[in-house]
Structure 1
Amino acid sequence: MVTSTRRAALSLAVLMALPFTVLSAAQAQTKLKWAHVYETSEPFHTQSVWAAQEIAKRTSGRYQIDVFPASQLGKEADINQGLTLGTVDMIISGSSFAARSYPPIGVTYYPYIFRDPQHLLAYAKSDVFKTLAKGYEEKTGNHIVALTYYGMRHTTSNKPIQTCADMKGLKIRVPDAPAYLAMPKACGANPTPIAFAEVYLALQNGTVDAQENPLTTIEAKKFFEVQKQIVLTGHIIDSLNTIISKSLWAKLSPEDRQIFTEVTQEAAARSTTEIQAKEKELVEFFRQKGLTVTEVDKAVFKDAVMKAVTPESAGYRKSDWEAIQALQ
């Protein structure tokens, strides 16, 4: 029989142990920041939130990941730098920004390198992608865990465009990365780098006359409200990388690395499916909004690019370009 004195002693021991139990649990949970520049309505965000919750679930709550959308933690250049500075742990960002640290990986932004979205998705599973991702990791320490289809980039404008020559003198916003300059420059346009968060205002006040982005982004960022024409140039088939910082990747156990990889790749696949379905609907959506949607001969634009800016002159390795071209 346990005496009252014994019971009191046991109760006291339990109470004394509680703070240490709570402290141990608190220490076991790691809080992480995941940043991107996209709107909360876009699948890049909704699927990141799903992935954060799924990682927490699969690791029994050892990781709490807070997702910061819409440039809350900085513009795209800032969050890429944040991986090194330690201000963010994970990001979603294009290879054009990764190319600032490791130029070869930017080859995927060379205009018309991909035939269609399926070609891009084949690249995501290819040896050339693995080689480029490894080169980026060796240079930065940051690890690319997943690739998401971002969309086929098209041009919007307030003037009609039927041919490459129609773009001569056009002030067009492009991201601040060399690969985006190739098509506009080849067609005689005046490309102007402006931060993503500032594009709507730049179009509205006439700082630029045009911009280029996938249809899903044109809708999400409401660019169709301040543009009259959508020209289906399809000059870049774009993708985004999910990247884990060097410091976080080094801390993850092999088991946790597998969980982060599997979940982010599943989130990327879910986003890709959503985006491809949405793209099919948006041409009619924009027409109903009163915009003129124009089909163009992409071969004419491609020929202009190839004559004006070869992959090598843009700073990319010809062998990478050829390897991607050869993918089926």
Structure 2
Amino acid sequence: MLLNNLRAVFVAVWFVASAAQANGELHLYNWGNYINPQILGRFTEESGIKVSLDVYGSNEEMLAKLQAGATGYDLVFPSVHMHDSMAALGLLEKTHINQSEGFKNIDTAFLRAKSDPKGEYCLPYAWGTVGIFYNKSQVSKPIESWADFFAEARSGKKVILLDDMRETLGLALIVNGKSVNSENPDDLKQATDWLLARKSLVSAFSYDSQTLVMSGDVAAAHFFVGALMYAKSDPDNLFYVIPKEGATLYQEDMCMLKSAPNKENAKRFMEFFLRPEIAAMNVVQQMNGTPNREAVKLLPPELRDNPQINPPPEVMARLQIFEDLGRALRQYDRAWTRFRSAD
């Protein structure tokens, strides 16, 4: 009897493995930890398609790797402005995902890419804000603004800014009442000078600040709303806030590469992610926003009604999203080099 059971288990395992091999593979290139691993497992379980995941830390890193000749990826997850940049470079495949049945669940307000206003290429995937993640036990009072953030630094507390050209220049532009997409050299000079005046207060520039805030080694960090993933482990001490001056709003889209070796599997995954319960699974784990209206309805109240995840209209009005700047990006490169190379 035991032998028969073992044979049955072996046959079942062989069948699943064979199905995965028969149905092929899918290769994702996404932001680090920006997708719930359970979603990948469920997709493989349902489809037999083996999924691999590589991660990147910035849009620029992802694009540079692709332009350097990296091949084999099927789906990438660029921010909207990078979606437009990649479209201009001819890197994206038209998927007609907007003709899929589940696309009716997508709020059309998230069709923000100028190169893809109908959603013919990419699927709006996730969105959120970039604000301040801080440890309440390490600050003199609750942080509500960038002024509070740097006040803590002046008092001797350690703070971290993102090592990200658009985000960090963006916060300086916002504080100074300018657009994060300004092409005015005077605006960029004002933002850069503002940052330079505060550079000595910054302990580090990094994407990997969350564990330092959690441990109390750093009081506050410039970080993404996904910090709420970590705050839920210690809600009495850890908090994420959208600064009063405003913040950037990010949106990632799911895009198929023109060079994708597994286009059918990639389209199948895009359609899988259109399902409200799947999009909701990602929100519950990532604690950011979703463009899927039906998925929002499935969220527990503590997420659906959280003003940091789904900000009220008056806060949304203070958020700005990056656009593809084309040649004007060179001005930002020069400003960032000036700032980062200064003593």
TM-score, normalised via structure 2 length: 0.48
Structure with greater Cα Rg: 1
TM-score by length of 1: 0.49
Q: Which has a greater percent of helix?
A: 1
